Amino acid sequence: MTRNGDEPFITAVKPLVDAMGGEMLPPDEAGPDDVVLAWEGVDVVAVRLPQLADSLDHILAAMERRQGKPLADLDRKAKQEVVRILEARGAFSVRHGVETVASALGVSRFTVYNYLNREKES
């Protein structure tokens, strides 16, 4: 997949691709929805972006890793902060986003909506 000299570029973009749940593949295997990245005028790597719903699961898993425990084990204030961060990242524009987040937090959809409304009132 790489030419000599491409490794630093691929190493540099890999954490970003991983963070968004994407997949790296050779540029000649890119599909119409993939993003081909070039370095010094040469196509180096293609990035297959995840579906939005998969991205939400990936974001929730990353937040859980950062917290060091399941999101459902967080206190109310921490859960409200998670909802605020997820709203800023567009999590609730995904179909069933509220349900997915509520399940991850161990709360009801109603509670997630309350957290969202509380944020808007602030």
pLDDT surpassing 60 at residue 1: no
Tokens, residue 95: 């179909």
Between residues 108 and 17, the one the model is more confident about: 108
Q: State mean pLDDT over 116-122.
A: 74
Task: Tell me the three-class secondary structure of 53-109, residue by residue.
Answer: HHHHHHHHHHHHHHHCCCHHHCCHHHHHHHHHHHHHCCHHHCCCHHHHHHHHHCCCH
pTM as predicted: 0.62
Place of tokens 């937090």: 105
pLDDT tens digits, one per residue of 36-87: 999 889 999 999 987 766 778 888 988 999 999 999 999 999 999 999 999 9
